[in-house]
Amino acid sequence: MPHPQLRLAASSPSIIVPVTARDRVELGHQVDSLARVRAGEEVRAAEEGGDAPAGGLPFDLVEWRVDLYEPFTAGVDPSGAGAAGTGIDPVPVVAALGAIAAALPDIPVLATFRTTAEGGGAPLADETYARLVELLAGSGLAAAVDVEYRHPRAAEAIAAAHDQGVPVVASNHDFDATPSADEIVARLTAMEDAGADVAKIAVMPRSAADVVTLLAATERRHRDARIPLITMSMGALGAVTRIGGGAFGSAATFATVGEASAPGQLPAARVREALDLLHPGSGQP
Q: How many of the other CB atoms lie within 10 Å of CB of 116? A: 11
CA distance 194 to 196: 6
Candidates 226, 220, 253; CA nearest to 239 is 253
Cβ atoms < 10 Å from Cβ of 73 = 15
Cα–Cα distance for residue pair 260/64, rounded to 1 Å = 12
C-alpha span between 82 and 84 (Å, rounded): 6
The residue from 3, 151, 162, 173 that is catalytic is 173
State the catalytic residue, choosing from 151, 200, 222, 279.
200
CA separation for the pair 146, 136 (Å, rounded) = 10
Active-site residue 151, yes or no?
Answer: no
Backbone phi, then psi, for 265, in 5-degree steps?
A: -65, 140
**Residues carrying an active site annotation:** 173, 200
